[in-house]
Amino acid sequence: MNVAYSNTPDFSFFCDATKQINHMITHLQSAHCHDNEHGDIECYIQKEGFEVLRCLFQGYLDLKTANEVLHDDVYSDQGTHLNHIKHNTKRKLTTLFGSVTVRRKSDSQRLHNSVFPLDAQLNLPADQYSDRIRQRVAIEARKSSYDEAVQSISQTTGCYIPKRQSLKLAQDVAQDFDDFYRQNRYLTLEKTDNLLVLTFDGKGIAMRPEGLRECTKKAALKSKKLNSRLSAGEKKIENAWHKWLLYTRRYLIFERLKRL
């Protein structure tokens, strides 16, 4: 379809969004909504509003498809000239507003994978879920369980993502965690006169007598330490060590998700 014709007042790539807005306005002005409570109207606008946003996104993608330029010099990663062009190939993209369809041209050659220039221009992911969906899954997954994350996304966006897919997206987002901190580690000494002081509380951890200082050893001899059971305020070493490991593990997982 000619681009100039497509953008006439009678028809444009965003006519579906215009129709949806006009439909919402007509509904809000009708007698059916005259006695509705504000909560019902709020729910209606949210639900139908996502459809407006989805139509706007779809219109933008259709406009990109109509303006896509044919390239005669497309090559694969192996250097093979891809001279077979196929029009109107489709793929699904799930966004925060709902599912849209991306139509684009493909360049291919026998025994070689097809190449989609528009996919690279839009930086589309390999799967169907958009970048904002991935970000939302990472934010919700760090707060609670995956079941609650799926429910929250379903209630506050225009899309639905299954639990297994949300788990995979969270894993994909966190896969570069170690590489990120490895790139940002200090390789040279920091040029500063400030001191970094670390203090540790060893209260409740039993010490061997030969490891005590002289003044501490004298104070220990005067204490009422029980040999058969724990004294008042004394913690079992195994339990304290286990709790410290559990707390450290939870803290690291929380910090990893927080930095996504």
Domain ranges of the chain: 1-67, 132-177
- The model's pTM: 0.64
Instruction: Find all residues with CB under 8 Å of 209, minimum gap 6, and list them.
Output: 217, 220
181-236 confidence digits (pLDDT tens)? 777 676 777 778 888 787 777 666 677 778 788 887 887 777 666 555 666 655 55
Question: Which of 92, 96, 207 minimizes the C-alpha distance to 159?
Answer: 96
**pLDDT tens-place string over residues 28-41:** 999 988 889 999 99
Nearest to 152 by CA among 168, 164, 136: 136
Instruction: Give the end-to-end CA distance of the chain in Å, rounded to a whole number.
Output: 42
Confidence of residue 171 (pLDDT cuts 50, 70, 90): confident
pLDDT band for 5, please (50, 70, 90 cuts): very low
CA distances for 100 relative to 42, 56, 60, 80, 155, angstroms:
25, 10, 10, 32, 19
Are 133 and 162 in contact, with CB atoms under 8 Å apart? no
